[in-house]
Structure 1
Amino acid sequence: MAPAVEAVFRPERTYLLSLGSAQGNAHLHWHVAGLPPGTPYRQQQFHALMTENGVLPVTREETAALGARLRAALGGR
């Protein structure tokens, strides 16, 4: 998935996180987070991943279009 995110969004950097815990919710899931190009260094790393610092607004239509581009980058899977 990370290569597809990089092909579609051309991020400055791609963060991969694995979250979950056997102590509270026995599962594992991955987050693939592309850092928008031009993000100042002081707003990268953990700052960029914290939703309290804001999120990019995306409409339902934009989400559908991005999903289609990601599917295409994955070879239609």
Structure 2
Amino acid sequence: MDNSLTEYREASGLSQRALAEHVAVTRQTINAVEGNRYDPSVELVFKLAAFFEVPVEDLFHPDVELERTVSEIGD
């Protein structure tokens, strides 16, 4: 899953360690998420979005293709 975490973190003037401390994870976790080597938990996704005060979709960009339309969900 692609993300814009590095851009938001750098724009805020934070190190990976500082961001990690704010959201209660390790620096290695932030590094892995930024490097697209780790898909964060839903809890961490929401913590990061809340920290930067942005919608989840601004930070994370899943590479998921929807095969069904909304009208097909009820079928």
TM over 0.5: no
More strand by share: 1
Higher RCO, Cα 8 Å, sep 6+: 2
Q: With structure 2 as the length reference, what TM-score do the two structures score?
A: 0.30
Higher helix share: 2
Query: TM-score by structure 1 length?
Result: 0.30
